[in-house]
Structure 1
Amino acid sequence: MSDPHIALLMLGAFIFIILLGFPIAFTLMAMGVGFGYYAYYDAGRMWRPYYRALDSGADSWTLVETWVSGFFNNRIFDLFVNQTYSVMANDVLTAVPLFLFMGYIVERANIVERLFHTLALATRRVPGAMAVAALVTCTLFATATGIVGAVVTLMGLLAFPALLRARYDISFASGVICAGGTLGILIPPSIMLIVYAASSGVSIVQLYAGALLPGLLLAGLYLIYVIGRAWLQPQLAPKPDESEVEQISTGRLLFLLATSFLPLALLILSVLGAILFGLATPSEAAAVGALGGLALAVAYRALTWQRLRESVYLTVRTTAMVCWLFVGSWTFSSVFSYLGGERVITEFVTSLDISPLTFLILAQIIIFLLGWPLEWSEIIIIFVPIFLPLLPHFGVDPLFFGILVALNLQTSFLTPPMAMSAYYLKGIAPAHVHLVQIFKGCLPYLMLVFVAMIVLYIFPDIALYLPRLVYGR
């Protein structure tokens, strides 16, 4: 069996093992070190210390000790150590824990409940007002955190019961929460885009500029759908009786907006604006955002030692997961490429003589299917780099490809039977809410994601206009 065949066996074995449920990061590291030991095996490096020990007349203990040192005298261990250091010293990834901390501290600052209540009052005359308020709240909160599970869970605890009390259809209300909660991995400042930038070498600043309009496009499509369906089928989102509508003056409403919507919006816009206009690096802007999150928590009198400790713990845990995924992925991909696996895939795809459109469709279908068993982080870190060497051959801009992937990965949280957003919501929903009803509510938004991807391909300037305008890309 040749080295390229070993590489393909390595990839197949990895997919099989993770489908069995083994931890992704440790599987990657074990596979990388295991197959890497074969790839970098050098008999001279392995056995020469062993024979020196025999020649010198060493006792058995010294002999075993020397053999063990020879056993570890393989370049895969040097590669593993170097990859670990490279990941931990990566300047782009420095922004990850800071943005995560900003999101976790905002989550615990009681801002979201106040924001949802205020937006529900502000949109009370719009069809499906509470659903619109929930969707806008999800979008803002998801943008601030970038953590889908946290957004869906918290909004499921705050907004979902309110929607059910207002006699909203269960599937209609479920879809709003699940779809709105996923927007944070697309709209900047997004953790997913940082991870893609580190994997692809594309500027994170240009990725943020490119993702802004597509993210707003998708959020706009969601809003149009919610308002349009509530208008066409008012039984899905019945208007409240006059006695149920809280009467509030315009001045009081403006005050509530100024103390709930405005602070969070300003925090997000200031962080994003500092990055896009070159006033700060992503890491510097993330640090300011984390400080701003702390300031908001203090202003809302929600900062306690317990909440601060929880935020730090969750930040460290999630950051460790991302970093060790990178360590395992880069070790795995280095061995895979060294054995010739990457070259085999590249030669196979280029030999098919397909058009750029066909390549993009095939790539997005593969990523869509991978979204069923895998999280977005594994897809971006492990599988997207396989497509990156093919982009120059088909003339595809890696920035444009990254935005398409970010849009596509919305589907991994919305596609039954592995729609993670649905499971997050089901975990905290009342007992009478069934998983099938949540799946049903997610499907229209899944179609809207496909619509957004088609629109983006037909009009690529939606993603490329801002990077070209601001950075001359």
Structure 2
Amino acid sequence: MFLSDPAIGVAMLVLFIFALMLGFPIAFTLMALGVGFGYYAMGDHIFQLLVQRTFSVMANDVLISIPLFLFMGYVIERANILDRLFKSIQLAAGWLPGALAVATLVTCALFATATGIVGAVVTLMGLLAFPAMLRAGYDPRIAAGVVCAGGCLGILIPPSVMLILYAATAGVSVVKLYAAAFLPGLMLTGLYILYVIIRVVLNPSLAPKLPPAERNVPLTTVIWSLLTSFMPLGILISAVLGAIIFGLATPSEAAAIGALGALILGVAYRSFSFEKLKESVFLSARASAMVCWLFVGSAVFSAVFAYLGGQAVIENAIKGMDLSPTMFLILTQVIIFVLGWPLEWTEIIIIFLPIFLPLLDHFGVDPLFFGILVALNLQTSFLSPPVAMAPFYLKGVAPKHITIDQIFSGVMPFLWIVVLSMVLFYIFPEIGMWLPGVLYGS
């Protein structure tokens, strides 16, 4: 008995998920399945499609900014700018309850705007801030939660690479998406800081006050420290984001400015070398190649999947559930949350989101709104046990006596804060939609 084309399309998706669980390389699995099933469905035309999709991905103007933003982040990471930044913010926040934790979150938020590389931020803050909090007598759980949650902010806060990929996948404006993500990113950071302060006020033993010598620092010392560390990076990030959001430069042009500015900062701090430059170029090229081949594989796979009728089967199944827009959003966010356990956010954005995007019009959901909701949700994919990457990044650099159970325990409150932020954003969508509406109209 021969299967119908839609059934073969669904079998193609099931086979991909099975190969994924076995650990096969995702990009090449997508291409292999796309070409294999495509040859069955289209014959030799599949090879023309493969060439066309490869060219269209490589010629996509939006994607040009990815290697430049990655390079900017890797340069800042390797120029030891984070160490100076953390110390200056620590001096400025010394009077607050849980000062080191607050300084860690602010540093993560600022560093997130320079690099969306979650593993790098969590690892660096795990080497820098986590030991400092443990030495100060902080509870390991709250210290671990702060580092892991703060390190994931780069997924949401512009210039997020994730938002660039979503824009390219969904066909929306990167500029509007950055504007929409700005305030939700600040909201989530603010909720993290508020939670830490309230917890420490209620239970001071979780985060003892810093010694008087570290709290009673002359104002001139604090100002000088901020001027020499916080301000230069802050000006660079503001210039990059401002140029994008206010339409002074395209994302690719602004990313080039950011990359050049990061190099100048590294040289000015005398903490950059030719070896570090080579490392930054290599890591940027490797990550960019991975993203591009994922796009190529996903484009071929999606085209064949839709040609066979698999996309229509899923769309009709969801439409047949007679869901309200709210229930549709809950369903998609739950699926994305579960996919975040075994998959990286790149695979979720490039492979699985295109299945839901055609349904947005049917349910009357704004793609900008949906994109920010997904960006918030993807924070949970790095935090939720049992396969959360951020806790494992931290465990890799934490002292041996810190257990993974302690890290997971510390992360859980921040996971619920992310869920709260998603609820707040759904109830008050103006949190994200107000700024692009003001800047670019409805």
Q: TM-score range by the shorter chain?
A: over 0.9
* AA aligned opposite 1:330: A
- Contact between 2:109 and 2:154, CA under 8 Å: does it hold in 1? yes
Q: CA–CA distance in 1 between the matches of 2:94 and 2:179?
A: 33
Q: CA–CA distance in 2 between the matches of 1:189 and 1:21?
A: 31
**Of residues 206, 230, 247 in structure 2, which corresponds to 1:236?**
206
**Of residues 132, 137, 146 in structure 2, which corresponds to 1:162?**
132
Task: Give unmatched runs, 5+ long, in structure 1.
Answer: 42-73
* AA aligned opposite 2:437: R
Q: CA–CA distance in 2 between the matches of 1:449 and 1:112?
A: 25
**Cα deviation per residue 1:263-289 (whole Å; 9 max; x = unaligned)?**
111111110000010000000000000
Q: CA deviation at 1:10?
A: 0.3
**Of residues 144, 150, 157 in structure 1, which corresponds to 2:114?**
144
Divergent runs of 4+, >3 A: none
**Cα deviation per residue 1:324-349 (whole Å; 9 max; x = unaligned)?**
00000000000000001111111111
**Cα deviation per residue 1:24-80 (whole Å; 9 max; x = unaligned)?**
111111111111111113xxxxxxxxxxxxxxxxxxxxxxxxxxxxxxxx1111111
Verify: 1:322 aligned to 2:296, yes or no.
Answer: no
Q: TM-score, normalised by structure 1?
A: 0.92
Q: CA–CA distance in 2 between the matches of 1:137 and 1:449?
A: 19
Q: How does 1:24-63 map to 2 (within 5 A)?
A: 24-41=26-43
Q: CA deviation at 1:125?
A: 1.0
Verify: 1:377 aligned to 2:379, yes or no.
Answer: no
Q: CA–CA distance in 2 between the matches of 1:265 and 1:77?
A: 48
Q: CA–CA distance in 2 between the matches of 1:441 and 1:29?
A: 40
* AA aligned opposite 2:289: A
Measured at CA, do residues 401 and 239 of structure 1 come closer, stay the same or move farther in structure 2, by a change above 3 Å? same
1:64 matched to which residue of 2? Answer: none
Q: Secondary structure in 1 aligned to 2:323? A: coil
Q: CA–CA distance in 1 between the matches of 2:110 and 2:215?
A: 24
Q: CA–CA distance in 2 between the matches of 1:22 and 1:315?
A: 23
Share of identical aligned residues, percent?
65
Question: Highest relative contact order (Cα 8 Å, sep 6+), 1 or 2?
Answer: 2
Q: CA–CA distance in 1 between the matches of 2:270 and 2:71?
A: 18
* AA aligned opposite 2:293: W
1:59 matched to which residue of 2? Answer: none
Q: CA–CA distance in 2 between the matches of 1:245 and 1:82?
A: 60
Q: How does 1:56-205 map to 2 (within 5 A)?
A: 74-205=44-175
Q: CA–CA distance in 2 between the matches of 1:253 and 1:406?
A: 35
Q: Secondary structure in 1 aligned to 2:259? A: helix
Q: CA–CA distance in 1 between the matches of 2:41 and 2:181?
A: 39
* AA aligned opposite 1:317: R
**Of residues 22, 25, 30 in structure 2, which corresponds to 1:23?**
25
Q: Secondary structure in 1 aligned to 2:204? A: coil
Q: CA deviation at 1:245?
A: 2.6
Q: Secondary structure in 2 aligned to 1:416? A: coil
1:254 matched to which residue of 2? Answer: 223
Q: CA deviation at 1:240?
A: 2.8
1:45 matched to which residue of 2? Answer: none
**Cα deviation per residue 1:286-330 (whole Å; 9 max; x = unaligned)?**
000000000100110112001000000000000001000000000
Over the aligned positions, Cα root-mean-square deviation in angstroms equals: 0.8
**Of residues 2, 9, 12 in structure 2, which corresponds to 1:10?**
12
Q: CA deviation at 1:472?
A: 0.7
- Contact between 2:62 and 2:168, CA under 8 Å: does it hold in 1? yes
Q: CA deviation at 1:241?
A: 3.5
2:321 matched to which residue of 1? Answer: 352
* AA aligned opposite 1:223: I
Q: CA–CA distance in 2 between the matches of 1:142 and 1:274?
A: 18
**Of residues 259, 274, 279 in structure 2, which corresponds to 1:310?**
279
Verify: 1:265 aligned to 2:267, yes or no.
Answer: no
Q: TM-score, normalised by structure 2?
A: 0.98
Task: Give unmatched runs, 5+ long, in structure 2.
Answer: none
* AA aligned opposite 1:304: S
Q: CA deviation at 1:247?
A: 4.6
> Which of the pair has more CA radius of gyration?
1
Q: What is the number of residues matched between the two proteins? A: 440
1:63 matched to which residue of 2? Answer: none
Q: CA–CA distance in 2 between the matches of 1:453 and 1:241?
A: 38
Q: CA–CA distance in 2 between the matches of 1:111 and 1:226?
A: 25
